[in-house]
Structure 1
Amino acid sequence: MDRLPVFKALGDNTRYAIYLELARSPLALSTADIAEALELHPNTVRPHLERMREAGLLDVEVDNRGTVGRPQHLYSLASDSPSLGLEPPVYPVLSGMLARVAAALGPTPEEVAETGRIQGRAAAVRRAEAAAPAGADRDRAGACVAAVMAELADMGFDPASAGDGIVTTVAFTRCPFRELAEAYPELVCHLHRGIVEGMAAELGGVDVERFGTLADRDPCQVDLVTR
């Protein structure tokens, strides 16, 4: 998702309030629902909803069930809209329970990382069309770094890179899993490492030379070395 239109759309107080309302709701909401919750007139809400839909923030479905007159539109957050830390509270609870179960099973760091590699390889396949053609190692390396940066940006890590053409250091300026990572670094950080390693192995062109976790430094970072 292009972030600039998103930031512009959410720069308005009313649209941000609408976003919060939809983020907290387990169900899609109608214009009337949103207007009532925010104590606004529906005619005030409608143009804001349209602006948010155009920015890609909202999904819209039509409800034809037993209504008189025009069917109403129901709005929900788009699947790729930024969470802004407002995901339903059930997910952090579930992820915490799963982390406790996983920690109790006592997996090795490599077993944990392999789960991340599976995810990383799948992500690399999705982004393979953005990779440069095989044969130009440096181009291939650049495409791999770009794919890793894009994937981790979409996951909420806000990566920043610096390099000399051979080694690219990617720092993760934000950790979307920080609470879990601090409680279970042996799980979360090695999953993160595995994702990067899986993408690098699938796309080629670079090797993961060093992955610094929260135990090593803050922010975490990884060195990607051109083959």
Structure 2
Amino acid sequence: MTTGSYSALSSYSRVQILHTLQKRGRRTIADLRDATGLHANTVREHLQRLIDGGYIIVETEQRTTRGRPRALYSAASGAATPSPIAQRKAREAAERGDLMRRIMPETGTTALPTEAVHQLDALVEDLASAGFDPALDENSLSVDISPCPHADADAAQRETLCAVHLTLMDGVLSHAGGPLEVTGMAPSCNPSDCVVQLRFGRPGSR
């Protein structure tokens, strides 16, 4: 696995937890314990790492009956379930990108709207901090992060890892705010190839 901002996902157990939350949402610790087979205390430790990374959020259950409210965990996904940590990261990436474009105007030549540029700032910075070397192609709206670090993983694990990371990348775009969204990976017979495709699809897209 990679390092940096995705270090919270260096454990496949955390990937499993996040995958469960991405698919089902609003799960309790007991739900996640049953889904993963992990001890409840281990689940708690993993959840805290994922919260600190901006990948999940926690809210208190609203009860209409007597009893202690439970903590409910959801995958952070932008507008639907925003993470303040992920929003801050996206905002700071956009600020750094704007500063770089002011210092080096030649790097700011683009036909994309400002909101989309800020989304790409956030995505590229997030991938770079995760240990990838993303190659952005604005014309084809694609991001090449080959070679895939999970190419040698078991096929079932690789499928889960890809699904989780694609959803995370789309979450970065969503938290940044703008029209771009992830559509999936470009087809390839080589597991080491990883080209993620984007499109204008969110409200406000052209």
Length-normalised TM-score, structure 2: 0.46
Q: Which structure has the larger Rg?
A: 1
- Point out the structure with the larger helix share: 1
Length-normalised TM-score, structure 1: 0.43
